[in-house]
Structure 1
Amino acid sequence: MKHRYQINGISCGGCVTRVKKTLEEHPNIENVEIFLQPVGATIVKMNKKLTVEELQGQLNELDGYTIAEIN
């Protein structure tokens, strides 16, 4: 199942790579797509739905990024 999010703090391709790698380390995340246009738009494919808090917990390994669900 795919879910749409906005990740704040993304500013370049290096950010995209770092955030993607960190999120994909979670066992319930299959794939992450992060876009620079619009900046920070993200699609996360999961095998089990995670809460925004769980995703933020995973992102907290990095400094300066926050995630919010897009409806």
Structure 2
Amino acid sequence: MMKQKFQISGISCGGCVSRVKKTLEEHPNIEKAEIFLAPKGAALITMNEALSVAELQKQLDGLNGYTITELN
């Protein structure tokens, strides 16, 4: 199990947070997605196995207007 930090642009309200969280957690390799409004769009994702940013973005593409980037 690994935790990684990401930034998700397009998060502006609690509704966005719950939609994005639900969508990410539908992925079989994502155990838990924690998304924050402060700092806006910060995300901590717990994965069973490492997923690339491209794979995470693909999962988010079901929703419009969100872009995920990796934080070091």
TM-score interval (norm. to shorter):
over 0.9
Give runs of aligned pairs for residues 1-71 of structure 1, distance below 5 A.
1-71=2-72
How many pairs align?
A: 71
TM-score by length of 2: 0.98
Which runs of structure 1 show a deviation greater than 6 angstroms over 4 or more consecutive aligned residues? none
Equivalent position SS for 1:41: strand
Residue identity in the other structure for 1:18: R
TM-score by length of 1: 0.99
Give, in angstroms, the shift of residue 16 of structure 1: 0.1
> Identity over the aligned pairs, expressed in percent?
68
Give, in angstroms, the shift of residue 32 of structure 1: 0.5
- Provide structure 1 residue ranges, at least 5 long, that are not aligned to the other structure: none
Give, in angstroms, the shift of residue 3 of structure 1: 0.2
- Provide structure 2 residue ranges, at least 5 long, that are not aligned to the other structure: none
